[in-house]
């Protein structure tokens, strides 16, 4: 085993161990000009790395770097353009932050390069079902994969949780065929992706129906538009709405939360976890 693969494996296993102890927060670093909430805020490598350091200092257990917006209506970019955005950031993160990092991409070429640069996980918004090479890339790097539910279009007539289960079953078959161990798979119901407001709400409320997979569940509800529709006089999602949704998800079985505001979620989840565990159980750091 080469040195880099071994080092990445140590970081991967440490993260998975931490994930097993209680809820953890994934901090978002978008190096994109057009992401729905924070597009264009991190204009250069120094700003992106500084933001990653800030998220880790606030308690992020992992930092998720994205170079292409997955918001509805976003203009697709090439792998070369995506790499141009993320490579210089990832090249500095390994020596700049005291936490592991992941790559948010659905392109195998981008994932492979990010893993070479030290990423321990691939956050795939198409759950190994868009790029046929993705599962083999993840398996070869012995990385974690976040399998997110997605659809080509919204369909208000479907049972969204049943659809999520069908998607996960297909993704898990792809992962198994490629040789990705099940204990390196994280499930994500894909809040805000090809779902109506009601379906987003249902996906969070019914997360308990996904816990029989026996796998960690990630929720990415941060600042999603449907949250604004649940609050009077709110056109957009607020921080308070995001925290409320994530605590509801935690109560239903989610254990990892992909967010823009780390400090506030770390505090809220520490209190939640302490109350759920009882007075005689320590709060994890």
Residue 20 lies in a domain: yes
Where residue 40 falls among pLDDT bands split at 50, 70, 90?
Answer: very low
pLDDT confidence of residue 65? 96
Q: Please, are residues 112 and 82 in contact by the beta-carbon 8 Å criterion? A: no
Enclosing domain of residue 106: 3-277
Residue 225 lies in a domain: yes
Residue 103 lies in a domain: yes
72-86 residue pLDDT tens: 667 789 999 999 999
pLDDT-wise least confident of 69-78, 101-110, 128-137: 69-78
User: What share of the chain has pLDDT > 70, as a percent?
Assistant: 89
- Averaged pLDDT for residues 245-264: 96
pLDDT confidence of residue 233? 53
Residue 202 lies in a domain: yes
d(CA 183, CA 141): 15
User: What share of the chain has pLDDT > 90, as a percent?
Assistant: 74
3-class SS at 36? Answer: coil
CATH code at 118?
Answer: 3.20.20.20
Residue 142 lies in a domain: yes
Number of domains in the chain: 1
Element (H, E) at 192: none
Residue 283 lies in a domain: no
- pLDDT of residue 235 exceeding 60: no
- pLDDT of residue 35 exceeding 70: no
Which among 267, 246, 184, 261 is positioned nearest to 17, based on CA atoms?
184
Indicate which residues carry an active-site annotation.
224, 258
Residue 82 lies in a domain: yes
Per-chain mean pLDDT for the chain? 90
pLDDT confidence of residue 38? 45
d(CA 37, CA 41): 9
Residue 182 lies in a domain: yes
Where residue 220 falls among pLDDT bands split at 50, 70, 90?
Answer: very high
Helices 108-116, 79-93: crossing angle, 10 deg rounding? 20
β-bridge mates for residue 104, sequence order: 66, 123
């Amino acid at each position: 085993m080469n040195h880099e693969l071994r080092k990445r494996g140590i970081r991967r296993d440490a993260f998975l161990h931490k994930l097993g102890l209680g809820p953890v927060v994934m901090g978002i670093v978008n190096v994109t000009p057009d992401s729905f909430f924070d597009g264009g805020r991190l204009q250069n490598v120094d700003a992106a790395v500084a933001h990653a350091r800030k998220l880790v200092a606030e308690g992020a257990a992992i930092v998720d770097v994205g170079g292409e917006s997955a918001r509805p209506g976003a203009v697709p970019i090439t792998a070369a353009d995506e790499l141009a955005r993320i490579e210089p950031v990832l090249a500095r993160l390994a020596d700049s932050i005291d936490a592991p990092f992941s790559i948010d991409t659905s392109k195998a070429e981008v994932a492979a390069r990010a893993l070479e640069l030290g990423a321990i996980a691939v956050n795939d918004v198409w759950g190994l079902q868009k790029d046929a090479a993705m599962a083999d890339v993840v398996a070869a790097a012995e990385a974690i994969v976040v399998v997110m539910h997605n659809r080509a279009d919204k369909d208000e007539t479907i049972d969204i949780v049943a659809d999520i289960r069908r998607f996960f079953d297909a993704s898990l078959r792809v992962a198994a065929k490629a040789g990705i161990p099940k204990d390196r798979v994280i499930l994500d119901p894909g809040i805000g992706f090809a779902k109506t407001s009601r379906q987003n709400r249902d996906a969070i409320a019914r997360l308990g129906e996904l816990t029989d997979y026996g796998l960690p569940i990630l929720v990415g509800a941060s600042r999603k538009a449907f949250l604004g529709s649940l609050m009077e006089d709110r056109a957009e999602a607020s921080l308070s709405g995001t925290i409320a949704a994530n605590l509801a998800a935690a109560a239903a079985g989610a254990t990892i939360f992909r967010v823009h505001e780390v400090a506030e979620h770390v505090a809220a989840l520490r209190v939640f976890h302490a109350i759920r565990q009882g007075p005689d159980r320590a709060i994890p750091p």
